[in-house]
Chain A
Amino acid sequence: GESVGLHLPTLSVQEGDNSIINCAYSNSASDYFIWYKQESGKGPQFIIDIRSNMDKRQGQRVTVLLNKTVKHLSLQIAATQPGDSAVYFCAEMGGGSYIPTFGRGTSLIVHP
């Protein structure tokens, strides 16, 4: 809710800039990854997903990159807008489990 972003890593950008949000995952057996956006006081919203047989996937204004060697996932948002301000978090799934593990998230603040 209103305090979801409390004490989270924060990324501040200017409107129009590109944003890169990073996520390090822990389980080398994870093979499915999801990015969510959570606005203040609302439930998480699905943005984009990627499976481990890919290293890049593009959506509308968003790109997810997966580096399995270093267990790193990133979300790139092009031409960031004030409406993109939210908490973004990644989820990983795999190793025989169908229950995702969620990261803490990064708070993105977009200045007009």
Chain B
Amino acid sequence: EIVLTQSPTTIAASPGEKVTITCRASSSVSYMYWYQQKPGASPKPWIYDTSKLASGVPNRFSGSGSGTSYSLTINTMETEDAATYYCQQWSSTPPTWTFGGGTKLELK
């Protein structure tokens, strides 16, 4: 089973700052997916196929990576970006979906 480890666990950023969240996989994966979750709400798809933005996601967000190392970057932090972000991967044999432990992004 592939394990996803996110870092940092918590990060505080000021508006305008650049933010990078990392997700490391215990084995190589083909793609990474990211979800945003705010308190009391369901997760929302945020980035898919490693670098594609889901519908409605601002283009200050970007995703990159390959193999065992992936990242989500916010070019310039905005107040509405404060949330918890989860990475996720899919393995085909056997079919399983795994989430990272989450990174809580707070406003400084």
A joins B in a complex: no
Q: Taking beta carbons and an 8 Å cutoff, which residues of A are in contact with B?
A: none
